[in-house]
């Protein structure tokens, strides 16, 4: 007969294994995000001895996660395949995160809450898709969970140091530091609050001074550029953070019930919950353009509080309590997660962007290896990673200027770049075929997620706005 300790260990291992298997399946379904390749190019240049730069000789920090780039540079250094290694790292990070969260919840006797969390964390297609996207948020989440756990174990100095270091993974770490500081103030631990400020400043200051000396700014250029993209509607943010995923929509009422009881939860959930609320309020005020990975930590927080809300409702349904055992929830979670991901694969295909954009671009780049060529791109991710020449960025992520709509034609003509890599939308099609640009550049290839590689001159045959569909142009 299993002891309580061995039973707990079994549940923790099974929880981590469940997520690992689902994420491994997801590896074969979803594509790496285009933005992730920006950090990959920084990592590659660093591993090659050219410094943490995008274009060699240009000291512009265009990645919001310099520490993640440094970590990935070690992968390049030892010859691990990229981007697969970055994705596998994220799968392992998710597995570790579940391992720690399982231990924390079980220590507080929250076994059903753990089951509901697993149901959402494994079953959410969007959460799996973000993990396979190759971004830094999985490492940031793990560091945040460790930070809160250490803080509650009275290892506050180490917690603050880790959280401060996490700033160089994601800037949202500052909001978690603020939560720890406010918790010390509200619990009248003024000495700890003072040391939180001092330790965080000491930890942050040396890297920030180093950044300023190299790049002339303590903020990455990508952050400065994205600040110009603020003004998204609250509806867009609500859609990104709470909707867009069937399981998240279904369990949102449970999460809201759970958050309404935040004052009655255990210390870990309380700190995590107040941090999530602060993030939501901050995003609502600043209203940045909501990329999917921005929602990752918030979605995990909502998954945790969905468990709290579910157990609270069960308190009013005594006759149904025995039906909801951890084993049954875990099995159901695995089935739903399996079905959700395979259904997505059936609908969109396996890695459609990799198949129809990344691989064809890789083939083109192999025959265009000259580093003295220049390319202007709207989306600089995969093209910048594959093309070894100089990249000029219209979005200002790794360039010093965001090119406004009315400036684009003159910018393209005056730059005299060898290639243009533009999104295939109506605005750009009109620019390519109905302006002076057609006298200087010819479209040579099209790369689209759908696999449509036919270049059509009629703008009405293309969508409006951003789309993962590109036309490559070459200067005459």
pLDDT score, position 287: 82
Contact 131, 90 (CB under 8 A): yes
pLDDT score, position 76: 97
Contact 305, 255 (CB under 8 A): yes
**Contacts by 266-271 with C-beta closer than 8 Å and gap 24+?**
266/108, 266/110, 267/152, 268/104, 268/108, 268/148, 268/149, 268/152, 269/304, 269/305, 269/308, 271/148, 271/151, 271/152, 271/179, 271/180, 271/183
**The pairing of beta strand 469-475 with beta strand 419-423:** antiparallel
Strand ranges of the sheet holding 419-423, from the earlier edge strand across to the other edge: 390-393, 374-377, 419-423, 469-475, 441-448
3-state SS of the chain: helix, strand, coil percent to 5? 65, 5, 30
Tally of CB atoms within 10 A around 190: 10
The residues, ordered by sequence, that sit 6+ positions from 336 with a Cβ below 8 Å of its Cβ are: 119, 123, 247
pTM: 0.94
pLDDT score, position 226: 67
Question: What's the chain's length in residues?
Answer: 476
Q: For each of the chain's 476 residues, which pLDDT tens digit applies? A: 455 788 899 999 999 999 999 999 999 999 999 999 999 999 999 999 999 999 999 999 999 999 999 999 999 999 999 999 999 999 999 999 999 999 999 999 999 999 999 999 999 999 999 999 999 999 999 999 999 999 999 999 999 999 999 999 999 999 999 999 999 999 999 999 999 999 999 999 999 999 999 998 888 887 777 666 566 788 888 888 898 899 989 999 999 999 999 999 999 999 999 999 999 999 988 888 778 999 999 999 999 999 999 999 998 887 888 889 999 999 999 999 999 999 999 999 999 999 999 999 999 998 887 778 999 999 999 999 999 899 999 988 888 778 888 899 999 999 999 999 999 999 999 999 999 999 999 999 999 999 999 999 999 999 888 889 999 999 99
pLDDT score, position 19: 98
pLDDT score, position 318: 79
Q: What are phi and psi of 59, to 5 degrees?
A: -85, 75
Q: What is the DSSP letter of 475?
A: E
The residues, ordered by sequence, that sit 6+ positions from 347 with a Cβ below 8 Å of its Cβ are: none
Contact 52, 70 (CB under 8 A): yes
pLDDT score, position 1: 40
Residue closest to 274 by CA, chosen among 300, 242, 301: 301
pLDDT score, position 230: 61
The residues, ordered by sequence, that sit 6+ positions from 91 with a Cβ below 8 Å of its Cβ are: 20, 23, 24, 27, 131, 132
pLDDT score, position 400: 75
pLDDT score, position 236: 84
């Amino acid at each position: 007969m299993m002891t309580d300790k061995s039973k707990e260990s079994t549940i923790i291992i099974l929880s981590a294994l469940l997520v690992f298997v689902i994420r491994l399946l997801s590896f074969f379904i979803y594509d790496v995000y285009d933005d992730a390749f920006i950090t990959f190019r920084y990592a590659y240049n660093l591993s090659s001895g050219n410094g943490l730069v995008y274009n060699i000789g240009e000291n512009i920090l265009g990645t919001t996660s310099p520490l993640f780039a440094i970590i990935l540079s070690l992968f390049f250094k030892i010859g691990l395949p990229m981007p697969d290694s970055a994705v596998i790292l994220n799968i392992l990070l998710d597995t570790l995160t579940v391992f720690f969260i399982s231990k924390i919840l079980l220590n507080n006797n929250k076994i059903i809450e753990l089951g509901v969390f697993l149901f959402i964390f494994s079953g959410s297609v969007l959460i799996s898709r973000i993990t396979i996207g190759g971004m830094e948020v999985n490492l940031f989440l793990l560091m945040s969970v460790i930070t809160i756990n250490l803080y509650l174990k009275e290892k506050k100095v180490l917690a603050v140091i880790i959280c401060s270091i996490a700033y160089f993974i994601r800037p949202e770490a500052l909001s978690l530091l603020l939560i720890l500081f406010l918790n010390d103030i509200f619990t009248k631990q003024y000495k700890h609050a003072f040391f939180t400020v001092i330790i965080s400043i000491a930890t942050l200051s040396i890297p920030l001074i180093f950044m300023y000396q190299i790049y002339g700014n303590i903020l990455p250029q990508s952050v400065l550029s994205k600040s110009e993209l603020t003004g998204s509607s609250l509806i867009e943010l609500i859609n990104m953070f709470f909707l867009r995923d069937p399981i998240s929509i279904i369990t949102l009422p449970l999460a809201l019930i759970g958050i309404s009881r935040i004052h009655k939860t255990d210390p870990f959930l309380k700190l995590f919950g107040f941090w999530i609320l602060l993030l939501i309020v901050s995003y609502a005020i600043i209203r940045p353009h909501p990329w999917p990975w921005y929602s990752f930590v918030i979605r995990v927080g909502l998954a945790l509080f969905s468990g709290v809300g579910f157990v609270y409702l069960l308190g009013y349904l005594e006759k149904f309590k025995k039906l909801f055992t951890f084993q049954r929830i875990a099995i159901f979670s695995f089935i739903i997660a399996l079905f959700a991901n395979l259904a997505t694969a059936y609908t969109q295909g396996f890695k459609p962007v990799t198949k129809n954009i990344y691989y064809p671009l890789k083939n083109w780049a192999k025959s265009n290896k000259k580093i003295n060529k220049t390319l202007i791109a709207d989306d600089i991710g995969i093209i910048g990673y594959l093309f070894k020449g100089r990249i000029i960025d219209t979005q200002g992520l790794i360039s010093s200027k965001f090119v406004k709509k009315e400036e684009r034609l003159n910018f393209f003509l005056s730059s005299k770049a060898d290639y243009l890599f533009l999104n295939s939308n109506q605005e750009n099609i009109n620019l390519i075929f109905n302006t002076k640009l057609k006298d200087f550049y010819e479209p040579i290839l099209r790369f689209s997620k759908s696999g449509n590689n036919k270049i059509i001159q009629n703008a009405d045959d293309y969508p409006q706005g951003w789309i993962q569909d590109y036309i490559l142009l070459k200067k005459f």
